[in-house]
Chains A and B, each alone.
Chain A
């Protein structure tokens, strides 16, 4: 049976979508079958990065119970040059759909949780996918917590901004731990040279009590990635980039979990 990964963060703009897309592509390039879902219904973004749109059904329709998961997925294996398999579930970016999704009640959210949990059998079981990746919305949103509850592994992305670090620490103890999730923290956009002793000390000071944090990877801030403005899949286009090598290392660690 494959693995379900939720990519989450406390604040917005930390790089969740960047990591989701590139991790999915890294797995696909290794020949794995991957399903990537845009769970950020308030601010959908996968359609823009992958330059794709759904013909008829969106992920919203699957969670509404109006179509099966197969119908809500589109095959984007062509993006990996035919390697592995890359299926994507897009969130409907129309204003009407966003408004509709933000007005759901608790009962709907309960049923949505049931449908996400059912994907272990449908997507990993029947469809035989190796990985199911949820790109979530930041903070304590219903859709994000539903994804976290359904996942095996949670990757939480944080910058070293003080409010982000504090919020992430709180989520570690008051969210992920309560659901007994294997959680790993990725520090992104780090502007400190942590390879030096001085840098390490500075980073440790910014994080406060850093030895207790489940740090998975520390990723520097790259101007070229920021310049790309979410239009390029780094691991595919620049396989020798430091970022791509980090993603490869992450994928290997996840494979052996």
Chain B
């Protein structure tokens, strides 16, 4: 009986910790949203030139962005929804990562009606 009480108490402590962490995360996200609102317009890349998305660049990326970037490389041109289907992550999460990659100059974004497409810019394809 005592053992069960102990495990219930332990579970409650873990749940409480998760709740605290989620609250902290929420606060951070709020700050990021505010920063984005008042900072640089989100649809403009930080760099003027497109940075090549080669394998060495992919290797040096943080894991979460690498996964998104490779998926776009594989799909060629994709919406956040299509990327999310491949990575098994939430569409909103992928949308955030994709826009971050656009800001970094690795991806291009193009709107077609209500849909936003992301792709790797392989300009001057004929000039080798």
Footprint of B on A, CB under 8 Å?
64-66, 106-111, 113-114, 117, 120, 142, 145-146, 149, 175, 178-180
* Segment at the A interface, from B5-13, B14-22, B26-34, B118-126: B118-126
B96 at the interface (CB under 8 A from A): no
> Total number of A-B contacts with CB less than 8 angstroms?
53
Residue in B56, B66, B120, B128 whose CB lies within 8 Å of A142: B56
Residues from chain B with a CB closer than 8 A to the CB of A146 are: 55
Contact with A along B31-73 (1 / 0, CB 8 A): 0000000000000000000001111111100010011001001
Do B54 and A114 touch (CB < 8 A)? no
Q: Mark B85-128, 1 if CB is under 8 A from A, else 0.
A: 00000000000000000000000000000000000101001101
Task: Report B's interface with A, CB cutoff 8 A.
Answer: 52-59, 63, 66-67, 70, 73-74, 76, 120, 122, 125-126, 128
- Contact call A149/B70, Cβ cutoff below 8 A: yes
Nearest B residue to A180 by beta-carbon distance?
Answer: B67
Task: List the B residue with the shortest CB-CB distance to A118.
Answer: B76
CB distance from A60 to the nearest CB of B (A): 11
Instruction: Report whether B54 and A109 are in contact in the complex, using a CB–CB cutoff of 8 Å.
Output: yes
Which of chain A's residues have a CB closer than 8 A to the CB of B128? 64-66, 108, 111
Contact A113 B125 (CB under 8 A): no
For A106, A113, A117, A146, which residue has the most chain B Cβ atoms within 10 angstroms? A113
